[in-house]
Amino acid sequence: MRSVGVEEELLLVDGRSGEPRALSTAVLAAARDPHADEEVFESELQRQQLEFATSPQTVMGDLGEEIRRCRAEAARHAEGLNASVAALATSPLPVSPTIGTGERHQWLKEHFGLTAQEQLTCGCHVHVSVESDEEGVAVLDRIRPWLPVLLAMSGNSPFWQGEDSGYSSYRSRVWGRWPSAGPVEIFGSADRYHEQVADMVASGVLRDEGMVYFDARLSHTYPTVEVRVADVCLDPSTTVLVATLVRGLVETAARQWRDGEPPARHGVALLRLAAWRAARSGLEDQLVHPVTMRPAPAEAVVRALFDHVREALEDSGDVVPAQEALAGLLKTGNGASVQRDLLRRTGDLREVVAECARITTGYRTGC
């Protein structure tokens, strides 16, 4: 059974106004455990956000429990500073982000200007174990057309600087400003992958390998494929669903590779169009079908993803819980749909943030 780990980035927001607050240093100090081998929480580029990473899990129910526990712990530490955490991929309210003072963050500020300054976005990264770099690159080559579907499912960033962006995932449009972000070509071998990464760093544009921001990549820290395309999900159950489907994609792709099945030859230009459509439409309109590269209803495309990985889900015992979670997601909509519905009902973006902070830790008021 392949192990799965999740990294989530959360917004730190004022407990009353809902505006993002630059409190990561204080929250990290409150959360620091002198007896722990590794810290659960980390800083991110902007001081208005906080990241946590789960431990590797093989049972998806255990992964869900850990995500909820980490979110609740982050909320507890923020509460001591009269703040909250919200699983929002962009801030609904206007904000002037504050870049961290560390050397790496200051280098990004100096070299990338407004791209770095405005980059207050929160994503979800899913790590799935692979047996070797060769298997990992074979997986990357074969999951490429399915990644926009995950983006559509996770879309949770409809607002930007107090305005409706018109997108389900505006985070992905902002994130796409980085020169190394987005879909990539077929590599064909681990050697070719590592050669490409080395050439990108050698160009001088990137500081190091950690700045290779592909939608999916080999982790430079763990023996995993790291799928980075998703928004942070508002409801933790959606995070678990995305992680379940990512593991299914990795296992399905590895089996195709072992069976000698070649990857689909879709070009990067088409994959970029599919990603744009997913960011724009979410689950409320058409998506680009990963097989045909033609428009199809979003629900049909999502179900095509489920069918694509069904055998792997059956083998891991995840079919029934994934079916239930998917039915719930299609009924309620993704985080962007929930946020827009909250705004229609309350008329106030501050109330949207407040309710999303409650949903983040598993509590809904039903307002």
Mind listing the pLDDT tens digit for each residue in 241-274? 999 999 999 999 999 999 999 999 999 999 999 9
CA proximity to 173, closest of 282, 93, 255, 97: 282
Q: What's the mean pLDDT when you consider all of the chain? A: 95
Q: What are the backbone dihedrals phi and psi of residue 345, each rounded to the nearest 5 degrees, phi first?
A: -80, -30
Do the bridges between strand 286-288 and strand 224-231 make them parallel or antiparallel, or are there none, so unpaired? unpaired
Can you tell me the mean pLDDT for 212-233? 97
Mind listing the pLDDT tens digit for each residue in 278-305? 999 999 999 999 999 999 999 999 999 9
Asked if residue 130 has pLDDT above 90, the reply is yes
Matching CATH number, 4-360, of 3.20.170.30, 3.40.50.720, 3.40.50.2000, 3.30.590.20: 3.30.590.20
> Token digits for 328?
């719930």
pLDDT band at 366; cut points 50, 70, 90: very low
327: Cβ–Cβ under 8 A, 6 or more apart, which residues? Answer: none
- The alpha carbon of residue 360 and the mean position of all alpha carbons in its chain are separated, in whole angstroms, by 15
Q: Could you give the 3-state DSSP secondary structure of residue 316?
A: helix
Can you tell me the mean pLDDT for 153-178? 98
C-alpha angle 136/61/358, rounded to 5°? 110
pLDDT band at 230; cut points 50, 70, 90: very high
Q: Write down the pLDDT at residue 84.
A: 96
Report the C-alpha gap between 27 and 42 in whole angstroms: 10
Spatial contact of 218 and 226, defined as CB atoms under 8 Å apart: yes
Report the C-alpha gap between 203 and 205 in whole angstroms: 6
Q: Write down the pLDDT at residue 34.
A: 72
Report the C-alpha gap between 173 and 280 in whole angstroms: 9
Report the C-alpha gap between 150 and 298 in whole angstroms: 11
Mind listing the pLDDT tens digit for each residue in 169-191? 999 999 999 999 999 999 999 99
> Token digits for 270?
């088409």
Mind listing the pLDDT tens digit for each residue in 21-34? 999 999 999 988 77
Q: Write down the pLDDT at residue 272.
A: 98
366: left (phi over 0), alpha (psi -120 to 50) or beta: left
DSSP 78-136: HHTTTEEEE--SS-SS-----B--SHHHHHHHHHHTHHHHT----EEEEEEE-S-HHHH
Q: Write down the pLDDT at residue 363.
A: 59
For the chain, the structural domain boundaries read 4-360
Q: Write down the pLDDT at residue 141.
A: 98
CA proximity to 323, closest of 306, 311, 304: 306
Can you tell me the mean pLDDT for 4-14? 97
Can you tell me the mean pLDDT for 55-66? 97
Asked if residue 156 has pLDDT above 80, the reply is yes
Asked if residue 367 has pLDDT above 50, the reply is no
Look-up of token digits 């179900």:
303
Higher pLDDT, 21 or 36: 21
DSSP 31-72: H--TT-SS-SEEE-SBTTEEEEEPPPBSSHHHHHHHHHHHHH
Q: pLDDT exceeding 90 applies to what percent of the chain?
A: 93
Spatial contact of 100 and 24, defined as CB atoms under 8 Å apart: yes
CA proximity to 106, closest of 46, 51, 25, 176: 46
- pTM of the predicted protein model: 0.96
Look-up of token digits 């309109």:
285
Helix (H) or strand (E) holding 232: none
> Token digits for 242?
């995305």
pLDDT band at 155; cut points 50, 70, 90: very high
Question: Cα–Cα distances in Å, from 21 out to 81, 235, 315, 348?
Answer: 10, 22, 44, 19
Report the C-alpha gap between 118 and 109 in whole angstroms: 10
